[in-house]
Structure 1
Amino acid sequence: MYTRPFKPLLLAAAVVAVNGCSYLTGDDGMFRDRGNDYQDAVEIAAMKMPEQVDKASTQELYVIPPVARANAQADEEITALDFAVPRPLPLGASAFGEHVKIQKLADRRWILAGLPPSEIWPKVRHFLSSNGLRVVYTDAINGIIETGWLQFKESTETKDRYRIQMEQGVQPDSTEIHVLHLSVPAEVKGDGQVNWPKRSINAEREAWLVDELAGNLAAQGDSGGATSLLAQTIGGGAKIAIKDVDREPVLSMALGLTRAWATLGHAVTQQGMVRYDENANTGVYYINFGKVNASEEEQGFFSRMFSFGSDDEEVELPVSEEVAAKSPYTLNEILSNLPLQNPDVANLFPKLEGSDEARKLEDVPGYLLVIAGEDGDLQVHIRDAYGQRLARKEADDLLKHIRRNLI
């Protein structure tokens, strides 16, 4: 009998609630939808700073660089094809067949790991801590870890210390780990900075740590490890890149000449490439590209590896396997008869001198892979067997194929 007086009160409360919601969220409400306000925005002039104020602090933090066509010529016409998104560079099969391996060049040894430095860094730290090797100095930006002093049981009169340097590898998402060993008399005190030698004092003790570290990294594998944000910049930029120099694609290598010569020598014998001859004095490999002899099941894989065209255009390698197996000319014959009267050829072969007896050789197969530049800043050109430039796309595609096989 008390319900009837409450009905007017409930109705009044409902009306107030509806009006209240409109007041809060309607077009003129306090919490209205502002999602389309940008359509009515008015452009205003940029803020001007007084002359005495440092303008560097007000500039954009993430500046968008100008878009440059890496292989463009000044007189080329830009077409819609120029704006096609390039396919990602495939990983080098030869470098990543195994997760971790030890590389050797002359008396140098280092570890090559198929993971980026940001993932290798915490794995190396874990190896050191789990084996009781005390760390006294780290530099994640430059990829350096230095251990404290340790003493081998068989050598009590000396004590030893290690420096581990991690760098970007020649392939994407790979890491090179270099180990340096130092030994001093046992009475030397302190863990401070030391004068590290260019080469390890004891090659056997360097090899010991290289072997132990490589085995540990291989056992850890690439499953679900930690990543160091600080170590993401280890080694700076890429060691290998394809750049445009004087309107010609070249393979830029931030390596020493000995290392570059060795890794190119390996690359030009892989995946259908044939090395006819070489001349270290002039920095030239005489090479060719042949078809791979594969079963029908494997041909699909190789056709993808050797696809130099667009997605809907498969381009075969230049010559057959039979032709690629040999050349009628030696490299010395080719170099002795290059058209050095052409400045573009002469500039690439500064050590060669023209001869009155030079002649034009007929139907010379293959390509000349030429290394120029200085240690740490090398450029690799690929030319036809007469030293002449290739078509831009052909040179670019062949250099990419060589790059995939560097180690």
Structure 2
Amino acid sequence: MRQLAKFSVIAVVISTISGCGWLWGEKGYFRDRSNDYLDAKQESMITIPANLKKDTRPFDPLYPIPNNIPNPTVTKNYEVPRPLPLQAVNTSGPFSLQRNQGNQWIIAQQMVTPAYEQALQYFRQAGFRIDTARPVTGEFTTSWTKTSVLTNMLNSRLLAMDSSLANQELRIRVRVDPGARANTSELYTLVMVRPEGSAVESDWPSKSQNSVVEAILLDELMANMSNSQASENVVSLSDTQQQSVAAKKKALFNRDTQGVPFLVMNGDLDLVWSQVEQAINKANIKIDDMDRSERVYYINLSEKADGSSKPGFFTRLFTSEARREANAERYIIKVIPIDNAMSVKVDGIGNDTVVSPEKAESILRMLQDNMN
């Protein structure tokens, strides 16, 4: 029986070793697939029915085959050429104009929706009449427009570069696609040109019929978007400053009818309790103890929270505990609900300890200055 078991194990090992080819070999299940793309075949473009073309964006090949490869049936030793670097123009700021092999577009450091809205707003302000707008696909087109109805700045710039545009009409298609990086977008324009008064309607070309007009429109669009972004940053900075000022005033100093100082703070107990604790720590005041149920903090002004005021070895050796206790400045900070707000007061420890209004004001001012 033992011999049979031994031979069975040997047979299983031999069969496993000899059968590894179906797992790891060239025809195995776990074979190397890194070069499979070399055997891939080029398929034809997807054909979209005519009745659906108006609701879809044009299909552009994601991985086009370079034109400098005349023979697609290459060997597996073929070395893929490195792509040419993009020619970046005005890459500073949140928007940059890119040019590559006759194509030009804008890269925006923002998502598709805000970029689409800014582009749509610019073309309306420039004098173009929007023909169709498809926010879902990120596209909009203009109707045929004379350069004379555009803004004076844009019209003058177009005519300065090409005087023949005075007798022509323009039609623009703008497409906003998601960028290669997260939270970025790419804006493309397509320009069609026809003589003024012509009724000829044609399909959109693969490239702009006037590259000069396209370059000017992209440059003006990028400048407009940059200015809008700068204005939003100024407004945002102003709002932030106002919020900062409001944050400093969220703890208001006041006095009662007897002249006792206190702070008034908005918020519930949890929020105010946390803010008071943070203010005490920021003021570098040591908290000896706290009682959340009684809403009180026990502080010691004679010691720092970071331990920098801790006496040295010889001081502790030659100074009695009673003397150190006599030098301590201990107070109670109370959080008291009042109407729809909270008040913060300073009391002494013990019923017979009275805190002077000046001392209480000094402590409360320290807390107020360290409120976020």
TM-score by length of 1: 0.30
Higher strand share: 2
Tell me which structure has the larger Cα radius of gyration: 2
Higher helix share: 2
Answer 1 or 2: higher relative contact order, Cα 8 Å, separation at least 6: 1
TM-score by length of 2: 0.33
